[in-house]
Every structure is written in C-alpha cells, then in structure tokens.
Amino acid sequence: MSPRVAVVTGSNKGIGLAIVRALCKQFQGDVYLTARDVGRGQEAVASLASEGLTALFHQLDINDPSSITTAAAYFKDKYGGVDVLVNNAAIAFKVADPAPFAVQAEVTLKTNFFATRDMLTHFLPIIKAGGRVVNVSSFVSSRALNQCSAALQERFRSEDITEEELVGLMQRFVDEAKKGEHKQGGWPETAYGISKTGLTTLSMILARRLSKERPHDGILLNACCPGWVRTDMAGPKAPKSPDEGAVTPVYLALLPPGATEPHGKFVSDKEVQPW
C-alpha cells in the first residue's frame, strides 16, 4: 500500500505553515508544505526542520493550471492519490488598498474561488477512500451571505444549486463589479467576503456530490473558519496565534477513520455553524 500523504496549499507562512506544523506532529504519513515560490517554500521547510519537524516540499501555485496538474500527477504517481488536502491559499486586499473595487473583485475571486475550484477539480478525483478535504474559508463568508439579496441568499443556501450555477453567480459578481452594477445585482461591497461565500457554498456542493458518487469511500469534505489570526493577511491585532488558527482546519483534516460527520458543513471552533 502507498504511504499516506497530506498536502497543504499556501503553507510557506501564516495559518498554512501552522497547519503543516501540526500535521507533522499528528498525521501518520508524509506531510507536504507547498508554496507558489520555491525559495519561500524551502525556507519554511527549513524553519520547521529547526523545530525538529520533517515536512516535504512541492511547488504549487493555485493560479497556474499546469502547476496544479503537475502536482496532482506527482501525488497520484508517488502515493496513489492524496489522503488529506487542505486548501488554505488565499489573498486579501488591505482595507486601505486604493485598487478599484472592479479590480479587487476580479483578482480576489480568481485566487480564492476560481483557482481553489481548479485545485478541487484536479485533486478530488485522486482523494483516496477515507480522505479528508478542508477548504479554509472565513466567518466573513456567512457575513457576506447575509448581506446578499434575498434571491442570492436563497440560491447559496439551496440544496439543489449546482457547481455550474455557482460558477455562473461568481462570474456574474465579477462582471457586475466591473460595470459598477454589483449593488443593483444584490451583492455587498466585499470581494473577499463573496469569494469566501462562493468557497463555502462550493464545499457544500462538492460534499453532496461525493456522497452521491462515492458513497462507500467515506471521504469527508468541509469548509471552515480558522478564527481571526495574527498573520500578514489579518495583521498583528488579531487575537489568535497561527497555531491556534490551525486548530479547526487540523481537527477536520484528522477526523478519525469511520467518522461520518461533519461533512459538507461550515465549521468554526470545531463546531458546525449555521449557513
């Protein structure tokens, strides 16, 4: 049997690095720290080594389709697939960033929604039976949801929304933001929030699909919020350390064999949250 393997995206710093640190201590198998920049990734692997922890490295830029397919082929070939996937990589414009909303909408959705979806498209087929998939979303995904029009909220919460419909809605948000018409379209003024609303909704859609198409494989897929965490993204005033922010993603990544829930849920502080 191939050895077990865990893969974390965007893990050269911040919460992703803390997730790798915790998995090095708790996961029975190889743990891959991945980063879009090889130098930053290898530095992070070295920093873990200085703590006595062994992480392996693979380059992975989720915005680069060939980087995704190269990595997926590597894990399929070397490990027969992936046991744990944590989609952690994301970006956020700073509040003071002068970039126009149209640009923020396009750039933020590209990484946080569309590229993370590309990861899931290529990696879900190679998730092994008993695998765990964790999408690091945010509490702002539900805050932005609650600020959407009633019609949009109904679609994001519905059990019958398809991946294609969701992709269409995310593209509509970007298109309307570019025309300055997103408010009339029922969207709130938050590109990061909507990117994460999309990711949480996508997690629910894909979990339902896994249950339908691979009912006997026992794969659990969830979205989560790490909390408000001191990182380059959130700044120094946040209450949680990166290691504390890693707790819920790691809990979901290590749900014990045979567990049947949570699955297709949005989880914060290890508790399923309303959506």
Residues numbered 28 to 67 that lie near ligand NAP (CB under 6 A) are: 35-37, 40, 60-63
Shortest distance, position 36 Cβ to ligand NAP, whole Å: 4
As a whole number of angstroms, the distance between CA 259 and CA 130 comes to 9
Stretch that binds ligand NAP, among 22-30, 86-94, 122-130, 200-208 (CB under 6 A): 86-94
* 74 noted as active-site residue: no
Q: Which residue in the set 53, 91, 99, 126 belongs to the binding site for ligand NAP (CB under 6 A)?
A: 91
- Provide CB contacts within 8 A for 138, sequence distance 6+: 192, 193, 196, 225, 226
Print the binding letters for residues 215-234 with ligand NAP: x by CB under 6 A, - otherwise.
----------xx-xx-xxxx
Q: Which residue in the set 6, 7, 15, 206 belongs to the binding site for ligand NAP (CB under 6 A)?
A: 15
Shortest distance, position 179 Cβ to ligand NAP, whole Å: 26
Shortest distance, position 212 Cβ to ligand NAP, whole Å: 27
As a whole number of angstroms, the distance between CA 191 and CA 178 comes to 12
As a whole number of angstroms, the distance between CA 173 and CA 148 comes to 11
As a whole number of angstroms, the distance between CA 32 and CA 22 comes to 12
Q: How far is CA 157 from CA 147, 162, 213, in A?
A: 13, 11, 21
As a whole number of angstroms, the distance between CA 227 and CA 241 comes to 10
What is the contact surface with ligand NAP in residues (CB under 6 A)? 9-10, 12-16, 35-37, 40, 60-63, 88-91, 111, 115, 136, 138, 225-226, 228-229, 231-234, 238
